[in-house]
Structures are given as C-alpha cells and as structure tokens.
A = this chain, B = another copy of it.
Amino acid sequence: MENLQTLADEIHAELSAREDRGRVADYIPQLATVSAQKFGIAIAPLDGPVAVAGDADEAFSIQSISKLFTLTLALGQVGDRVWDRVGREPSGNAFNSIVQLEHEQGRPRNPFVNAGAIAVTDIILGGHRPKEALGEILRFVRFLADDDAINIDRLVAQSEQAHGDRNLALAHFMKSFGVIKHPPAEVLGVYFHQCAIAMSCRQLAQAGLFLAANGRNPRTGFNVVSARRARRINALMMTCGHYDGAGDFAFRVGLPGKSGVGGGILVIVPHRAVVAVWSPGLDANGNSLLGTAALELLVQRTGWSVFG
C-alpha cells in the first residue's frame, strides 16, 4: 500500500495551488468569517498512525457531519424505530427544502437532509431536557473520536440560533404532522449546538473509524454498532450524504461520505481507512469544492473506490 503520509502531502501540495475554491457559507455570519484558504486532510488507517497535512489539526464547524453521529446515536437508542419517522431515500432537492415534507405528510426523506436530522435529534431528546441531550451527543462524539478536547463553538451555535427560521419552519411543519414530539424551539436548541461542534480533520477521521471496521473502533476496541448497522450507515452516506450532489459524489469519488457546510467531508473506505478533508469554499450544492477534489485525487491514486 501507499505511504499514507506521502499521499496526504502530495494531495495537499497539488491542490493548495488551486485558486477556484468556491464560496464560503454565509447563511450564518459566524461561518462566513472563516478563511477560504484553509485546507486540511487526515487519513486514518485501521491501524498505524493518522497521516495529516495542512490545517488538519485546526478545529472547524462540523455542521451536517454531526448528522452522522446523531443518527448513529439514535439507532443505538431506539433501533430501527428511527425509520418509522424518517425515510432512507435521496431527496432530489436542496438540503433545506420543505416541498417534499408537504408532499409526503411531514416525513423527511432521509436522516441527512435538515428535516430528517431534526427528527433524529427529536428522537434523541426522548423526554430529556435539551441540555442533557446535548451533553449526551457531545459525549458520544468524544467517545467515537477518543478525544475529550472536542467542544461546541458557542458563537456558531448562537449565530445559527439567530438565523434559524428556515429550520424552525421545518420543525414546526413536522410537528404539525406529529413527526417530531418536542417543542420545536427545544429540538432546534439541541440541533443548532450539535451542528456547532468543532472538530479537526484528525478528530473526525478518528471518530469515523468504526464505520470502516465492521462497527468496532479499532483504536479503542469499543464496539459502536453491529457490522450490519455500520454497512447500512455507509449505504445511507453514499445515497444521501451530499444533499442534491450525492449522485455526483458517488460518480467522482465512489466512497460513502458526509459533508457539512463548514467545508468538511468525512469519507469511509471500508476495511481500509477513514479520510477527513476540510476546505470552507463550497460548490453549488453546498459541498466543499477543494475537499471533493482532494478526495477524487485520493481515490485515483489509491484505487479505493468501492465500485471496483
């Protein structure tokens, strides 16, 4: 196999020169303050050291990548009853669309569109107080990454809250159909904070390892989910992990992944590794432009696509 450190360095060197880096998310002011020049990559193999390059140890807002962790947590709590409330199909719409919700009686298409992730957070709330639910999510992410230094960026969370009307619309809409059970303001209090979790590429890559290794974190030895559930989560990332760009990501990269508007992307290479990239400039679908290019290059060099 390739020397992963060399690979990370090469990819970083090749792409750092690119000028077209897309547009940094500005739907909340706090995200818009991040420099478009940031670029990091971390490759965590199932064993051996994590290879990193660039800004791989700088924490950024994981945003929608948090949906992967809350889905895993909710599946652990209520099992397949998650699917009573949330579908498993790609949406064919933007991440924050409400049209589909009206056409399908308030049931979100999948756990990775905003509406679906809000419904998953409602499941995690499960009668607890928002603060407790949020604490549980944070503990779970720290446990996955084996790193207690992970925290929430309160400024980002406040900024989300201050510009949260679109998500509140989704939540109230689902509430009117009984798809979420708690008061929308409470659910979104948790949701905005989970999206504001700040992690580095290294931390993200480590947190995803269980998905590449039959559900067991090979570094800590903890079983997180069953092998079957790990496969299924990977499948959902493949078909729904990049909003309305999932088809293109599968076409170009060929690995299950989850992106966030903070510019991060986490991808799983089953039985081999987990890769996290970060570059804040986004493409039209809200996925990191340079990050996607980096993953495309990585797959070309390694042949790690799941598709042959």
Contacts and interface: CB of A to CB of B under 8 A. Distances in A.
Interface of A: 87-93, 97-103, 109-110, 163, 165-166, 168-173, 175-176, 184, 211-214, 227, 230-232, 234-236, 238-240, 244-248, 250-251, 254, 256, 268, 270-271, 305-308
Nearest to A213: B308
A306 B250 CA distance: 13
Contacts of A91: 92
Contacts of A90: 89-90, 92, 239, 246-247
Which of A97, A103, A305 has the most chain B CB atoms inside 10 A of its CB? A305
A214 B308 contact: yes
A91 B245 CA distance: 11
A172 B98 CA distance: 12
Majority SS at the chain A contact face: helix
Contacts of A230: 307-308
B256 A236 contact: no
Contacts of A100: 92
Contact of A307 (B172, B231, B246): B231
Contact of A271 (B169, B270, B308): B308
B175 A165 contact: yes
Which of A211, A236, A308 has the most chain B CB atoms inside 10 A of its CB? A308
A171 B240 CA distance: 28
Nearest to A247: B89
A238 B97 CA distance: 23
B234 A308 contact: yes
Contact of A270 (B166, B232, B238, B307): B307
